[in-house]
């Protein structure tokens, strides 16, 4: 039954993807990408990836849609009907897909417990997590502890992307910058229904984000998901109350502190391990009890991830929104 | 449901090629970026399809429970971080498109090339 539901969702996903490609109105295409992400999250969920589904729903359906709409507002929302290399693109895509489909015949079937992916290191993680780390969520244990180096690297990629967007969008454009708030910058304050409903939702979204942040050891969640959720809540506030009101709640200086503070907290936890005589990002030496040390390390590292992700995503949103007011 | 054993992988291939086709055939830069995110989502689907174990559940250990089969947590960790990195890089691309629009007044690739030629 679940398999059939998965097949149904995948067909729906493909239809949505084709609709996105065919749609000439970019505004409609962006809304379709939001639906695409939501369907993707449902598929991840039935494939047992609860953490990934939560991330995809918060990031793909929430934040990405807002950023794409922001970019559309600054450029244009209609796509010209010029299709170069269309025949060649069809031939290349068809030929490559035939090749890859031919290669999939040798792949293990979906859910095969004997598949090579389930033989090597994954059983070790499942067996060692209760002994060495002592938290129920194995995904969080691998993310923050066993493979802490990788996550640190990913965090710095996000950090760098945020700095890059700041460099690209916060210089003053050649046209004279007018900081007078236009009618758009007032948000949806004069629309009663979104204002009342949105205002009710914002605190609960942020509260849920905090729950996901600090409950990530025990259930699906962690810094990446929490950062995206909290950012989505604050973006909703900015859309309702206007850009300037949102900047009063979380000013730019605080955003910059969040971005760098989170990354530095992660590094500091790693260095603390070094100073206490262990390896870089080895949390077992943080406290006298190794398992308690792992708990503390994971909590701090996830907090660092959450701070940086919230800061970067909100900064990117404000960079697009501020550009909008000027042009 | 043996006949659907490879269905996820086929859908991955078709989605991947939908993304590639969009990047190759469209001139609008935002449409190209959307095509790249479809391509990226297809890769996510491939990885998450590989984590499923028959009769398994999400890899959150249940204390005291015996004979529970857990799905593979490793692909989930990879994709979890990749999704957030994906949005960060997408917004960097969008920021570039916004600057291109300010410099050229268009986001259609062939018009940008024409202006460069003059």
pLDDT of residue B81 exceeding 70, the answer is yes
For A111-168, write each residue's pLDDT tens digit: 888 998 899 899 999 999 988 998 999 999 999 999 999 999 999 999 999 999 999 9
In this predicted structure, which of A120-124, A228-232, B18-22 has the lowest mean pLDDT?
A: A120-124
pLDDT of residue B1 exceeding 60, the answer is no
* Mean pLDDT of chain A, nearest integer: 89
Write the DSSP string, chain B: -GGGTTHHHHHHHHHHHHHHHHHHHB-BHHHHHHHHHHHHHHHHHHHHHHH-BTT-B-SB--TT--S--B--HHHHHHHHHHHHHHHHHHHHHHHHHHHHHHHHS--BHHHHHHHHH-
DSSP state of A189: T
pLDDT for res A325: 62
A327 vs A60, residue with greater confidence: A60
Q: Does B51 touch chain A (CB under 8 A)?
A: yes
In this predicted structure, which of A171-175, A202-206, A222-226 has the lowest mean pLDDT?
A: A171-175
- SS3 of residue A47 by DSSP: coil
Nearest residue, CB atoms, A110 vs list B38, B49, B110: B49
pLDDT of residue A178 exceeding 70, the answer is no
- Give me Rg for the CA atoms of chain A: 23
For residues A320 and A74, is the Cβ–Cβ distance under 8 A?
Answer: yes
Residue A152 in tokens: 């640190």
- Confidence grade of residue B45 (pLDDT, cut at 50, 70, 90): very high
Q: For chain A, what percent of residues have pLDDT higher than 90?
A: 64
Chain A: residue whose CA lies nearest to B73: A139
CB contact under 8 A, A29 and B95: no
- Confidence grade of residue A176 (pLDDT, cut at 50, 70, 90): very low
Q: What is the dihedral of CA A84, A87, A88, A92, to 10 degrees?
A: 130
pLDDT for res A326: 59
CB contact under 8 A, B92 and A168: yes
């Amino acid at each position: 039954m679940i398999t059939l539901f998965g097949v149904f969702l995948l067909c729906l996903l493909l239809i949505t993807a084709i609709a996105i490609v065919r749609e000439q109105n970019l505004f409609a295409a962006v809304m379709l990408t939001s639906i695409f992400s939501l369907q993707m999250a449902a598929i991840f969920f039935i494939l047992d990836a609860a953490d990934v589904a939560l991330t995809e729903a918060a990031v793909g359906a929430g934040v990405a849609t807002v950023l794409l709409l922001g970019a559309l507002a600054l450029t244009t929302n209609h796509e010209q009907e010029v299709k170069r290399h269309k025949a060649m693109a069809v031939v290349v895509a068809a030929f490559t897909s035939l090749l890859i489909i031919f290669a999939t015949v040798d792949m293990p079937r979906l859910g095969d417990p004997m598949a090579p992916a389930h033989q090597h290191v994954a059983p070790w993680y499942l067996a060692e997590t209760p002994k060495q780390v002592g938290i129920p969520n194995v995904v969080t244990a691998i993310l923050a502890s066993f493979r802490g180096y990788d996550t640190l690297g990913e965090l710095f990629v996000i950090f760098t992307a945020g700095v890059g967007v700041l460099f690209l969008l916060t210089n003053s454009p050649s046209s004279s910058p007018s900081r007078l708030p236009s009618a758009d910058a007032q948000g949806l304050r004069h629309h009663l229904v979104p204002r009342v409903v949105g205002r009710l939702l914002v605190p609960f979204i942020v509260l849920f984000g905090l729950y996901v942040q600090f409950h990530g050891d025990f259930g699906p969640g962690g810094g990446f998901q929490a950062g995206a959720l909290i950012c989505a809540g604050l973006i909703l506030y900015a859309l309702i109350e206007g850009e300037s009101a949102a900047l009063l709640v979380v000013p730019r200086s605080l955003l910059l502190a969040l971005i760098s503070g989170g990354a530095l907290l992660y590094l500091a936890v790693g260095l603390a391990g070094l100073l206490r005589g262990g390896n870089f990002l080895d949390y077992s030496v943080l406290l006298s009890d190794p398992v308690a040390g792992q708990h503390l390390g994971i909590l701090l590292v996830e907090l660092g991830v959450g701070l940086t992700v919230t800061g970067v995503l909100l900064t990117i949103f404000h960079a697009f929104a501020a550009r909008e007011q000027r042009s | 449901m043996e006949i659907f054993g490879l269905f996820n992988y086929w859908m991955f291939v078709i989605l991947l090629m939908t993304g590639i086709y969009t990047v190759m055939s469209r001139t609008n830069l935002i449409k190209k970026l959307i095509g790249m995110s479809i391509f990226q989502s297809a890769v996510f689907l491939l990885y998450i399809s590989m984590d499923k174990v028959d009769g398994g559940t999400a890899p959150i250990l249940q204390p005291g429970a015996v004979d529970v089969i857990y799905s593979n947590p490793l692909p989930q960790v990879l994709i979890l971080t990749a999704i957030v990195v994906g949005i960060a890089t997408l917004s960097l691309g969008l920021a570039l498109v916004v600057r291109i629009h300010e410099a050229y007044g268009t986001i259609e690739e062939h018009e940008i090339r024409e202006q460069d030629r003059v």
